[in-house]
Amino acid sequence: MVCERWERLMQQAERQGNKGKALEFKEKLVECLVYQTRSLVAERRLDEAEALIKQGRDVAKKYGIEELSFHLDLAEREIKAIRERRAKATAQSS
């Protein structure tokens, strides 16, 4: 996974009982997943974005991060809209 570094650091901080650092790394993990997904969508690399969304959903579920789920939902809607526009454009050009 692209952002596994932050997850690893978060887990390590939790094991050491450092809740402040664990929260900081959790925030970095969320930022990494959201920004990376947004970047892939902006570049129209939709299959890669969907794969990252799937990984992000697993992380959100594993750690109970509702904010991440929210941002992933937005990215999924944008991907759906892009694909619908592409399909419409293809249908009109045929």
- List the structure tokens of 29: 């993990």
- Residue 24 pLDDT greater than 90, yes or no: yes
Q: What is the 3-state secondary structure (H, E, C) of 2-65?
A: CCHHHHHHHHHHHHCCCHHHHHHHHHHHHHHHHHHHHHHHHCCCHHHHHHHHHHHHHHHHHHCC
Domain boundaries, the chain: 4-93
**Binning pLDDT at 50, 70 and 90, where does residue 90 land?**
confident
Give the mean pLDDT of the chain: 95
Mean pLDDT of 49-71: 96
- Residue 1 pLDDT greater than 80, yes or no: no
| pLDDT value for 45 | 97
| pLDDT value for 92 | 86
